[in-house]
Chain A
Amino acid sequence: MYDFEIERPGSVADAVKALGQEEAQALSGGQTLIPTLKARLAMPSVLVSLAGIDEMKGVEMRDGALWIGGGTTHATVMREAADAYPGLASLAARIGDPAVRNRGTIGGSLANNDPSACYPAAVLASGATVQTDRREIAADDYFDGMFATALEEGEIVTGVRFPIPQAAHYEKFIQPASRFPLVAAFVARFEGGVRVAITGASNDGVFRWSEAEAALNDRFAAGALDGLTLDGGDMISDLHGSGAYRAHLCGVMTRRAVQAIG
């Protein structure tokens, strides 16, 4: 690690101010950022810890949607969203290990937008709204490719509003080393239609599989997906699997998610 200052604001407003400093960076659970700092791959001069901001924490129903504060840990979501949105709670329960879940936050995960992260799939498939210190961003407008989002410099994810589907399921096939998704599918069935989001697979990060959504809107059954394929050429290809394999897994994970919903 290089030297840095650390600030611990108690409010979003103070955090935004602190992030206005030269080379300042937000720190939440540190589960991504701290290893990056230890490897000397980032050199912020000020770290602004969001961990002490109460208004960014919590899981509660607000106006018919589930609000989760941007600073809420995966472990809290796992416990407190279990009744309102079990599909989401189950996703949170399968992120990393207990140490990661007790520190890592939904805001950090969404700001980072790792192409293999779990939460982006839930946010996109739920048609959730990402709230920041300055605006609200629809999920469809938020994710912008690998490690890229609509966030501006210094913008803080303060919360996420999840519409609650009739049923949802997250099917995750793990990469054997990291245990991040190799490919995972989040299928959410709403009265107005089905949304399917895939993470882990694409070179462009999380995406909605619109052909699968259309097919499932016609008939919500695993069989409706038969014959649908994705192009492996656009998919991540690495030590753990080729693009063609990932493309294949997109179908398998989506079918299994649909089956699990029943």
Chain B
Amino acid sequence: MPKDIEPERGIGASSKRREDVRFLTGTGRYTDDINLRRQTHVFFLRSDVAHGRLTGVDTSAAEDMPGVLKIFTGADFAEIGGMPCGWQITDKHGQPMQEPKHPVLAHEKVRHVGEPIAAVVAETLAQARDAAEAIVVDIDELPAVVNMKDAVKEGAPKVHDDLTSNLCYDWGFVEENKAAVNKAFEEAAHVTTLELVNNRLVANPMEPRVAIGDYNRADGEHTLYTTSQNPHVIRLLMGAFVLGIPEHKLRVVAPDVGGGFGTKIFHYQEEAFCTFAAKAVGRPVKWTSSRSEAFMSDAHGRDHVTKIELALDADNNFTALRTDTYANMGAYLSTFAPSVPTWLHGTLMAGNYKTPLIYVNVKAVFTNTVPVDAYRGAGRPEATYQLERLIDKAAHELKVDPIKLRRQNFVTEFPYATPVAVEYDTGDYNATMDKLEEIADHAGFEARRKESEAKGKLRGFGVNCYIEACGIAPSNLVGQLGARAGLYESATVRVNATGGLVVMTGSHSHGQGHETSFAQVVADMIGIDENMVEIVHGDTSKVPMGMGTYGSRSLAVGGSAMVRATEKVIAKAKKIASHLLEASEGDIELKDGAFSVAGTDKSVAWGDVTLAAYVPHNYPLEEIEPGLEETAFYDPSNFTYPAGAYACEVELDPETGHVSIERFTAADDFGNVVNPMIVTGQVHGGLAQGIGQALLENCAYDEDGQLLSASYMDYAMPRASDLPFYDVDHSCQTPCTHNPLGVKGCGEAGAIGSPPAVVNAVLDAMRSGGKDVGHIDMPVSPARVWEAMNG
């Protein structure tokens, strides 16, 4: 939205992010900033081999080391539930997935480099670390399985001895469509096939994970301070499934969190350990992940290997799509891992196109690597990448313009039921593509290409579309799909006597700016200043049971809960106002923070009504209770479907293979926009991560399961100088039809929508240099480009 037509406040205003004041002045309060009285420190001794039988963990020498309070091993947790998995997939034969036990500390076997074997609790971290070196661990090394296709071969070493194989599940979607899809391929005029890898990533939030367990002997209450995107989910999973602590005796606090990107959704062993150990040791236990530990203990992202095929008729209409994906689960099932390659991926395979027949096969595989789970976009980037690379390849094979081929196959009528179980409520894919072509100056590309060529460089232009399912998720639907949780959101709106509001939400904020945009929504509804609204999140003792932040759901689901609760507050406040104004309730209007009687000049200020609610001297006590506080739980009726079109322009140095991104344009449809500045920022961050995946980031293992990219010396994070100034637009708005704000979600779009555009642009540049390689895998590093150009 152009600045000059933005409102100054409320919904649609680019209010400055209020939380940034504390973040930028060093007054944020992160978990590691918390230090409890008599706190102890834990150091985890982690496996340095990928696969082996643990034949002995001798802690006797270590126990006598200075400062050591207690040392724990897998045996201490043998009686305790393992780490739970929150989603059960049913395979194509109707059988549940194979679900291995996931111990808090390795027991009997180690299954990936970085798996904790023992935990030393000591007075200081250095003492804990010293003692850990004195623990004697005997491991009979076993051959590691790293490559997914090898892992599912007959006779491959098994990651879990008690499972039948390394195959977690073999999922077919929609199994009933398979025969029709195959038939369409037989009848196709053209079939395009592509094999590709969606590279494994490490999320690398700026703040590493931290956990502090505390136990109060006086009242039997446990408290866990943790870097989480969803403290209630941790409370439920850890309390009910791991440690057996009832929720009323367990408080989980996630204060300021320095970025999550999905990797802080999951319940981790270190959280359960610190909570457990605090009681066992009788003192608080703190763990702060080092960056090196983060590389081998934070859930990784992506890691799919896919073969995808597109069938087209003689007029270039898409007639069918077929995919065959291997999805790496790592050594154990992380909390939501099974849902990522299935319901967050298969359901998106229609993309923006009206392909009538789709069949998706996903084999989820255990390997001796760090568990893989949701990372910004989660399944949807993998779907988008396959589809949008494939369509580009088809366009080149058919010698048609890639944009034209896309437009020809766009879904144009809404609602649209895809053949992969979802129904798009609204959208206008031609509008975002028009916008994209305009702001990316597609028409001027050839001139820019000539300028690059004059410098000895190749220039390429690549586009892609994307669609995502956000606003996760309708509980009844995900329940049928195997989710072991509901995915509603909650909000309590507490109005204080003097008119200020405190909104307690389950939508945790860890960089998204919720404290600003949520306040805008509530303030707008009442017509008061945003500064009168405080947003509280991240503490299970303050906030009603909420499900947290992921899947671009916060405004669509959490914001909707807030709207509902605020509506209830307003309804009650109107009743009070009608009493104060001696008018009938139906005549009361709320505008600009004052209640008035329609058609008169009688009015009463918001603050007078809120005061009356708490000082009920002149108050209709027989009709309504005092106080002004309401709670709402909002469960969405559908996903939301943000969509858009992205363009990338690269310059490629054919001598070195170096690719630089010269322009990147994003035209998104996020439905209504509450704070355009924050939305732009979210897209910027997503693009950095998407471009990072496309050009730089690569989590690599060797064949023995050793992590090769285990630090920033080898894992390339995008830096400012790797990225261009983006052109970001979200003026195309088709509001969501089923939530009260008409919003769709914007947090993941950038990461979902950008990798294919980058790779398409690189291939375009290579073609202009006379080299048509068909495909190149991410990250498109200089070495890979050079090898492709010279191979």
| B138 on the A face (CB < 8 A) | no
Interface residue from A2, A177, A242 paired with B709 (Cβ < 8 Å): A177
With A177-B713, A242-B787 as contacts: A1 and B126 at CB distance below 8 Å = yes
A150, B66: Cα distance in complex, Å: 41
When distances are taken between beta carbons in the complex, the residues of chain A under 8 Å from B776 are: none
Cβ–Cβ contact A176 & B696, under 8 A:
yes
A245 to B656, CA, bound (A): 9
Q: Closest residue to B722 on the A side, CB-wise? A: A176
Instruction: Kindly provide the distance from the CB of A73 to the nearest chain B CB, expressed in whole angstroms.
Output: 21
The secondary structure that dominates the B interface is: loop
Interface presence of A103 (CB below 8 A): no
A252 touches B655 (CB 8 A): yes
CB of B781 closer than 8 Å to a CB of A? yes
Complex contact B712–A177 (CB within 8 A): yes
A228 within 8 A of B: no
Question: Which residues of A sit under 8 angstroms from B130, Cβ to Cβ?
Answer: 2
* Interface pair B292/A239, CB less than 8 Å apart: no
**Which residues of chain B are within 8 angstroms of A173 by Cβ–Cβ distance?**
656, 658, 782
Contact of A248 among B698, B714, B786 (CB under 8 A): B786
Q: Contact: B715 with A241, CB < 8 Å?
A: no
A249 to B292, CA, bound (A): 31
8 A Cβ contacts from B654-700 to A: 655-658, 695-696, 698, 700
Residue pair A239, B708 in contact (C-beta under 8 Å): yes
Residues from chain B with a CB closer than 8 A to the CB of A177 are: 696, 709, 712-717
Query: What size tier do the contact residues of chain B reach?
Result: 20 to 34
- Chain A contact surface mostly: loop
Query: How far apart are A80's CB and chain B's nearest CB, in angstroms?
Result: 26
In this complex, what residue of A is CB-closest to B715?
Answer: A177
Q: Which residues of B contact A99 (CB under 8 A)?
A: none
For residue B783, CB closer than 8 A to chain A, the reply is: yes
What CA separation (Å) do A239 and B702 show in the bound complex? 10
Nearest Cβ on chain B to A36's Cβ, whole angstroms: 12
User: Cβ of B713 and Cβ of A241 under 8 Å apart?
Assistant: no
Contacting residues of chain B (421-465) with chain A, CB-CB under 8 angstroms: none
**CB-defined contacts of B129 to chain A, threshold 8 Å:** 40
Q: Which residues of A contact B712 (CB under 8 A)?
A: 177-178
B613 CB to closest chain A CB (Å) equals 55
Give complex CA distance A205, B549 in Å: 49
- Convert A121-149 into 0s and 1s, putting 1 for each residue whose CB lies closer than 8 angstroms to a CB of B: 00000000000000000000000000000
How distant is the Cα of A61 from the Cα of B39 in the complex, in angstroms? 57
| Cα(A241)–Cα(B656), bound, Å | 11
Q: How close is B65's CB to chain A, nearest CB, in angstroms?
A: 13
Q: Is the CB of B781 within 8 A of A240?
A: yes
Known: A39-B292, A177-B713, A177-B715. A242 touches B655 (CB 8 A): no
- By a CB distance below 8 angstroms, the chain B residues around A40 are 129, 133
Closest to B713 in A: A178
Chain A residues whose C-beta falls within 8 Å of the C-beta of B790 in the assembled complex: 248
**Chain A CB within 10 Å, residue with most, of B656, B698, B708, B783:** B783
Given contact pairs A1-B126, A173-B656, A178-B713, A239 touches B700 in the complex (Cβ within 8 A)? yes
Within 8 A of A (CB), among B538-582: none
Q: How far is the CB of A93 from chain B (nearest CB, A)?
A: 14
CB distance from B123 to the nearest CB of A (A): 15
Q: Which residue of A lies closest to B714 (CB)?
A: A177
CA–CA, A176 to B694, complex, Å? 13
Within 8 A of A (CB), among B616-668: 655-658
Q: What 0/1 readout, one digit per residue, does chain A (169-180) give for beta carbons within 8 Å of chain B? A: 000010011100
CB of A249 within 8 A of CB of B656, answer yes
CB contacts under 8 Å to B, within A244-258, are: 245, 248-249, 252
- Assuming the A-B contacts A1-B126, A177-B715, A249-B656, are A239 and B787 also in contact, with contact meaning beta carbons closer than 8 angstroms in the complex? no
* CB–CB B714/A178 < 8 A: yes
Q: Which positions 119-139 of chain B face chain A at CB distance < 8 Å?
A: 126, 129-130, 133
Known contacts A1-B126, A252-B655, A252-B656; A239 and B786 CB within 8 A of each other: no
Cβ of A249: which chain B residues have Cβ within 8 Å of it?
656
Report B-chain residues with C-beta under 8 Å of the C-beta of A252.
Answer: 655-656
Q: Is the CB of A245 within 8 A of B714?
A: no
Please, what's the 1-or-0 string for A23-58, where 1 marks a CB less than 8 Å from any CB in chain B? 000000000000000011000000000000000000
A239 touching B714, Cβ below 8 Å: yes
How far, in whole Å, are A73 and B646 apart by their CA atoms in the complex?
Answer: 44
Please, what's the 1-or-0 string for B450-489, where 1 marks a CB less than 8 Å from any CB in chain A?
A: 0000000000000000000000000000000000000000
The answer to whether A245 touches B783, judged by C-beta atoms less than 8 angstroms apart, is yes
Interface string of B703-724 (1 = CB under 8 A from A): 0000011001111110000000
Q: Once bound together, how far apart are the Cα atoms of A39 and B48, in whole Å? A: 14
- Residues of B with C-beta under 8 A to A178: 712-714
Residues from chain B with a CB closer than 8 A to the CB of A242 are: 783, 787
Please name all residues of chain A whose beta carbon is closer than 8 Å to the beta carbon of B787 when the two chains form the complex: 242, 245
How far apart are the CA atoms of A240 and B716 in the complex, in Å? 10
A108 to B129, CA, bound (A): 28
**What is the CB-to-nearest-CB distance from B704 to chain A, in angstroms, rounded to a whole number?**
15
- Complex formed: what's the CA distance from A187 to B717 in Å? 31
| Beta-carbon contact of B716 and A176 below 8 Å | yes
Distance from B788 Cβ to chain A, minimum over Cβ atoms (Å): 11
Whole-angstrom distance between the alpha carbons of A2 and B695 in the complex?
38
Residues of A within 8 A of B786 (CB): 245, 248
- Taken together as a complex, chains A and B put the C-alpha atoms of A1 and B698 apart, in Å, by 29
Whether the pair B781, A176 counts as a contact (CB closer than 8 A) is: yes
A249 to B781, CA, bound (A): 14
User: Contact mask A219-262 → B, CB, 8 Å, 1/0?
Assistant: 00000000000000000000111100100110010000000000
**Chain B residue at minimal CB-CB distance from A255:** B655
Contacts of B126 in A (CB 8 A): 1
* Chain A residue nearest in CB terms to B130: A2
| 8 A Cβ contacts from B770-791 to A | 781-783, 786-787, 790
Given contacts A39-B292, A176-B696, A252-B656, contact A240 B783 (CB under 8 A): yes
- CA A16 to CA B46, docked complex, whole Å: 40
| Alpha-carbon distance A39/B129, docked complex (angstroms) | 11
Kindly provide the distance from the CB of A21 to the nearest chain B CB, expressed in whole angstroms. Answer: 23
Name the A residues within 8 Å of B695 (CB-CB): 176
5 other A-B residue contacts (CB within 8 Å) besides A242-B787, A245-B787, A248-B786: A176-B781, A178-B714, A239-B708, A240-B783, A241-B783
Interface of B toward A, CB cutoff 8 Å:
126, 129-130, 133, 292, 655-658, 695-696, 698, 700, 708-709, 712-717, 781-783, 786-787, 790
A-B pairs with beta carbons under 8 Å apart, 30 shown = A39-B292, A40-B129, A40-B133, A173-B656, A173-B658, A173-B782, A176-B696, A176-B781, A176-B782, A177-B696, A177-B713, A177-B714, A177-B715, A177-B716, A178-B713, A182-B782, A239-B698, A239-B700, A239-B708, A239-B709, A239-B714, A241-B781, A241-B782, A242-B783, A242-B787, A245-B783, A245-B786, A248-B786, A248-B790, A249-B656
The interface of chain A, by Cβ under 8 A from chain B, is 1-2, 39-40, 173, 176-178, 182, 239-242, 245, 248-249, 252
Closest 5 CB pairs of A and B: A241-B783, A177-B716, A176-B716, A178-B713, A252-B655
